[in-house]
Structure 1
Amino acid sequence: MAPRLDALKVKLFTDGADKAQIVAMARNAWISGFTTNPSLLKKAGVTDYVSYARELVVAVPDRHISFEVISDDIPEMIAQARLISSWGKNVYAKIPVMTTKGELMFDAVRTLSRDGIKINMTAIFTADQVAKAVTALDGGAPACVSVFAGRLGDLGIDYRPLVQDAVKRARATANVEIIWASTREVFNVIEAHDMGCHIITAPADVLNKLPAIGTQTGDDLALGAVKAFRDDALAAGITLPLPDTLRAAE
């Protein structure tokens, strides 16, 4: 069976931007942090980014929170990262691996990290990106590298070698942690745990299933499934006509 929740070594972050949901998830001691991004902010209807972020830091002052820069201009992205960092000691400035023009951000994050800015470098998809991100952040402030394993899996790409390489590189540093990002299912949490990932960030609906892991065997699940099928058939009132030979046997 899978390890129970209290045996997981990977830190659990909630990925989302709904403030009420974040506050609710923060009531769970096993949630270690939170990650947001512009797409999640849009989904949550956030329009005043600064006010939203400052309120969230007050509501959750004791755990990691990542807020992403929104500019596509490198000097502006650097300035925004410094602003985001000023929101709290637990805040990480989330910076994508490149701009929309393909301009790489490794030099920028190296400078910021050496200046004491906590960085979450995001949208990482290749081994080369991992290597350059870890190198840029090594020796600076506490930092994370977010590997988008789930999106690779959506395209049938085996993300496991990439994640394993990332973990190996990060564990050779004193300050860089790997985040398993774009989580799709509970089993991704088990994979991240088994591969030695520092962190996995996942939607609340995935994380809320974790208290059940390691509590049932395959036989338990089979019995529960057939009972549910039987109960639903009875509740629906559906029937199947029996051949006369079977009726006679009854």
Structure 2
Amino acid sequence: MKFFLDTADLNEIRQAVSLGILDGVTTNPTLIRKAGARDFHEHIRQICELVPGDVSAEVTAVDYEGMLREARQLAKIHERVVVKIPLIPEGIRAIKTLSEEGVRTNCTLCFSATQALVAAKAGATYISPFVGRLDDISSEGMTLIGQVVQIYRNYDFRTQVLAASLRHPMHVLDAALVGADVATMPFPVMMQLLKHPLTDIGLERFLKDWEAYLQAQKSAGA
């Protein structure tokens, strides 16, 4: 499974890169605004230079021609850019055209398996089903991930399943168990993957024992 960071914060990205486990980044207009980016294209370029893999940058147009125009501009920023396109009829048209042009796409705002099937047929590079937002309306978001993974395997679609809107470590674990290709998560969730109280207790105990050993050695040599 690939780990993507769902952020536009350069400091968070640098910290994740330093761990050596970051495969890519997903952004959206909300995250770009939150990061305080002054120049959208330049900010995306900076992210691309930090990470080793794909960086999703989203169009804001909702019409076919507008999405194509923005997508082509975004794709020129850096070879790592993957263009996020909303899962609407005009978006599917745009994904099909962009796929034929060799522009990679991330079809976003997916909430059903039939939507994911259509996106794959259009040639999307990634599909982004939103787990947390489905949970918010008393639906099983992770069930959708499993359905999409199974459908894509049934028909050998090359579209990668990118589990999005992951809000806690169990979301990441469940996405891995059902076979999602990518998990994109906020920085705090990525850090929580490393945490366990028994690890902290065990480390504290080892360090105390080591300190006691050193003191004993010191006393023996006195």
TM-score (norm: length of structure 1)? 0.74
What residue in structure 2 maps to residue 94 of structure 1? 84
What residue in structure 1 maps to residue 210 of structure 2? none
What residue in structure 2 maps to residue 40 of structure 1? 31
Alpha-carbon distance between aligned partners in 1 of 2:156 and 2:169, rounded to the nearest angstrom:
28
SS at match of 1:71: coil
Alpha-carbon distance between aligned partners in 2 of 1:197 and 1:37, rounded to the nearest angstrom:
21
Gaps of 5+ in 2: 202-222
- Displacement of 1:73: 2.7
1:107 to 74, 89, 93: 93
Give the helix-richer structure, 1 or 2. Answer: 2
**What's the Cα RMSD here?**
1.9
Q: How many residues align?
A: 199
Alpha-carbon distance between aligned partners in 2 of 1:27 and 1:170, rounded to the nearest angstrom:
33
SS at match of 2:14: helix
Mapping for residues 1-250 of structure 1, pairs under 5 Å = 10-60=1-51, 62-98=52-88, 103-137=89-123, 143-171=125-153, 172-173=155-156, 175-212=158-195, 216=198
- In 2, are the aligned partners of 1:134 and 1:169 still within 8 Å (CA)? no
Tell which structure's C-alpha radius of gyration is larger. 1
SS at match of 2:83: strand
Alpha-carbon distance between aligned partners in 1 of 2:198 and 2:126, rounded to the nearest angstrom:
34
Amino acid aligned to 1:134 = A
Q: Which deviations, in whole Å up to 9, do the C-alpha atoms of 1:202-250 show, x marking residues without a partner?
A: 000000111236x849xx8xxxxxxxxxxxxxxxxxxxxxxxxxxxxxx
Gaps of 5+ in 1: 1-9, 221-250
- In 2, are the aligned partners of 1:130 and 1:166 still within 8 Å (CA)? yes
- In 2, are the aligned partners of 1:144 and 1:177 still within 8 Å (CA)? yes
Alpha-carbon distance between aligned partners in 2 of 1:89 and 1:173, rounded to the nearest angstrom:
26
What residue in structure 2 maps to residue 241 of structure 1? none
The share of aligned pairs that are identical, in percent, is 31
- Displacement of 1:46: 1.6
Alpha-carbon distance between aligned partners in 1 of 2:152 and 2:185, rounded to the nearest angstrom:
21
